[in-house]
Structure formats: structure tokens, C-alpha cells
Amino acid sequence: MMSNTSFLSYVMRQFEEATQTLGLSQDICDVLRRPERSVTVSLPCRMDDGKLKVFTGYRVQYSSARGPYKGGIRYHPDVTLEEVTALAMLMTWKCAIMDIPFGGAKGGIRCDPKSMSQAELERLTRKYTMAIANIIGPYLDIPAPDVYTDAQTMAWIMDAYSKIKGAPTPAVVTGKPVALGGSEGRFEATGMGVAVVTREVSKYLKRPLKDAKVVVQGFGNAGYISAKLLQEMGCRIIAVSDSKGGIHSHDQLDVEKVLEHKRRTGSVINYEKAENITNEELLESECDFLIPAALENQITAKNADRIKALAVIEAANGPTTPEADRVLFDRGILVVPDTLASAGGVTVSYFEWVQNLTRMKWSLEEVKRNLEMRMVKSFEDVINSAKEYNVSARQAAMIVAVKRVAEAVKALGSWP
């Protein structure tokens, strides 16, 4: 596993490479190299047994050059300031790649949500909201769900913030329940974006989508939705996995039936119409499109030379290590980076924010249409950049992002 420090170094190295390619001035580089604000908060929380436990929370606001800060909040025992900083920087680039008017941010609380009750999580969330209330807001910083947080978490933040400010403020967060102003399609957004990008990759590689073999590592929200939509487009989903292992079919899997099996048994393994395989075997399966939608660092220098896909579409954050990225590029395997492939979530979050501010309500069809338009345009921008600079898609995406943010920083100038 990549440490949080090396993860931040890796993200920074991608940035440095892009600045060198673009020939950015030293002063612009210095501005973009550091977050605008990093906040660490202490969160005393009363547990169900009556004991007081103190948690640590973070919020890193990396750049506001292109608009209000935007980024999720994660609850995890391994959250660190270094990790949150790296993710905030990546959110800055992700928003710029999608050309939406947001900067980048990220938040987190070091806790183990799996061992906490719903009541404890609610108290901790409201305590965290109180601690950061003065640095978030509809025109300042708009949090969203991330690892082990969800629509309910956002509802608590919205409610706490609204009570602090004395007025209902639905636009303070995105990823809320639809009943509280959440957008139609937000739950499916990341998977929809992955499916659209996969379709565009098939066009670019001149590989028909019909009967294309797809392998999906990770059968959570993004992985399941991606598989479901691609199957509807005519793809053959031949393998999927979760944390307990994977399954493979020589023909194709029925995605809905696999989901029913997982809900009933707790895992995709032992599905009667497929053979069990390991996650390692799944990644090395022969296929057209490989979609890592699980954890980071799954494709490494150890297995990159055994990847048999035509293209890798990263639905997860950081599933490919830098060393593996170079191997895949040298082998001619297209890797669509996470900053583009998984950007459906933040894009529909943007749509939700717009709906909240304008007091409008979009239909699911409107959300899908606008998401598809932006995903297609962003894919084209990245591919054109890759051709122009003769670099990988990951490097090209970073070049597109850094160039857009740098232009904003330069246009704003320095004041006072």
C-alpha cells in the first residue's frame, strides 16, 4: 500500500511534470503547490456508553481560483492530513478537467465508522459541522459524501449548518437525500460517468461496444452501476469482484442477479453460474475494458505486464501506481485516469448545487443528458491534449487541469 506521504508526493510529482510541460512561471507554480487553507479540529464526542472520546477532523481547501471549494468528507481510521491534502489537490484538478466552476477541497475524520452506532455518527458529524461552519458555505466550500459517508451524513451537516446560520441552506452540501434538495441521479452519477467514458473509449479505439468483454473490480456503487449500464449498452460483463473475492463467467454474468446474490449472501463469491477467482486473477483476465472500482494501488509494477485489457478505466481513486502506469503506456494500453473517469459524481454534485441555488428541479433525463455532454467533452479534451503533447492520458488530463487553474490564478492576480 502506498503511504499517505508517498501518495501526496505522487500527486505532487504529477503536478510538477505538468508545469514543466506547460512551461509555467515559478510564481504560478509556487501558488499552486500549496493549499490555501488546512484546518485540523479536535472533536470531543459523547459515545453511547457515556464516555467522552476525542476524534480528529480535517478540512483542506486547496484552491478557489476557479470557484468555491468542492470535495467530499471521508470517515476512516487511517485518515491523515497528508492524505486529505493530496485528495484536495486531486479534486482541484478533477473539477478543472470537467470544466466546472469549482476549486478543490477534501475533509475527513479519523474514526472507525463500522464500529460506531448511527447515533454516535450523527453526534460526531454535527460536532464536525460546528467546528468548520465558518469556513464552509454555498459560495465558499461545499462538502459531499466520500468514503463511509453518505446522503444521511450530508443531511446532518445541512441541518446543523442551517441551524447555526439561522436559515435553511440546502446548497451547503451536495449528495443529499432527494427529499432535501438532492439531485436525481446523484447516487448513480459516478457509474454513469464511467459507462459514458467507456463508450467513448470504444469509439476511440474503434472497438465495437456490443459484445465487448468487461471486467469490474469492486461491486459497490460505482462498480455495480458501471456494470449494469454497460451491460445495457451491449457489453458482456465476464467478471466482477468485491473484498472477499471475484467470480468469472466464460459467457457473461447477469449483473442484477449477481447483485441479488450479494445482498443475500454478503458477497459475489459462490455465485452458482460462475467460478470463483481471486482479485489478482480478475485483474489479469483477458478483456476489452478493465474497470478498477475498488481500492487504490491495485495495478502495480508486479502485475502491470500481465494486464490483458485494451483499456483501463479508473472508477476508483488511484488504482494504478506510477510504475504500473508507465508499463501500461509503453504496452499501448490506454488508461483513462480517475480524475476523468470517476468525475461523474462531482459533476452531478455541481448540477445539484445549481438546482439548489436557483430553486429549480431537474428531471433524471436532464441530469443524464448534461452529464453525458460534459463527460464526452472532457474525454475529447484529454485525448486531444495527449496527442498534442505525446503523453499518456493521465499526463494529458493533468496538463488540461493545471493549465486551466493556472490561467485562473494568473487572471486573478495578487491582492493586496
Distance CA 370, CA 123 (A): 36
Per residue in 300-327, is it b (16+ CB within 10 Å) or e — as a string?
beeebeebebbbbbbbbbbbbbbebbeb
Q: Which of the following is catalytic: 53, 70, 94, 106?
A: 106
pLDDT in the model for residue 5: 61
Q: What is the mean pLDDT of the chain?
A: 95
Considering the domain architecture, whether residues 243 and 334 belong to the same structural domain is answered as yes
Known catalytic membership, residue 106 = yes
Pairing of strands 334-336, 311-313: parallel
- Element spanning 226, H or E: helix 221-232
SS3 34: coil
Say if 128 falls within a structural domain: yes
DSSP per-residue string spanning 108-160: EEES-GGGS-HHHHHHHHHHHHHHHGGG-BTTTEEEEE-TT--HHHHHHHHHH
Domain-ending residue, one of 316, 341, 366: 341
pLDDT at 147: 85
Q: What is the per-residue pLDDT for 138?
A: 98
Looking at the structure, do residues 293 and 327 belong to the same domain, yes or no?
yes
- Give the count of domains, the chain: 2
294: CATH:
3.40.50.720
The gap between the terminal CA atoms of the chain, to the nearest Å, is 43
pLDDT mean over 212-241: 96
Mean pLDDT calculated for residue range 206-229: 95
The answer to whether residue 136 is domain-embedded is yes
Lowest pLDDT segment from 122-126, 156-160, 165-169, 297-301: 297-301
Given this model, what pLDDT does residue 4 score? 60
53 and 118 inside one domain: yes
What is the domain range of residue 193? 189-341
The pTM assigned to this predicted structure is 0.92
Of 311, 341, 371, which closes a domain?
Answer: 341
pLDDT of residue 142: 98
- pLDDT per residue as tens digits for the range 350-366: 999 999 999 999 999 99
pLDDT at residue number 3: 59
Q: Say which CATH number the domain at 119 has.
A: 3.40.50.10860
Residue 147 C-alpha cell reads as 468514503
Angle CA 369–63–21, to nearest 5: 85
* Among 341, 363, 390, residue at a domain's last position: 341
pLDDT at 354: 97
Q: What is the pLDDT of residues 67-82, one digit of tens each?
A: 999 999 999 999 999 9
Q: Do 231 and 111 sit in the same domain of this protein?
A: no
Is the backbone peptide bond immediately before 416 cis, with ω within 30 degrees of 0?
yes
pLDDT of residue 380: 97
Residues 220 and 156 in one domain: no
Cβ atoms within 10 Å of 138's Cβ, excluding its own = 16
Q: Are residues 164 and 206 in the same domain?
A: no
Supply the pLDDT for residue 2: 57
Is there a contact between 408 and 93 (Cβ–Cβ < 8 Å)?
Answer: no
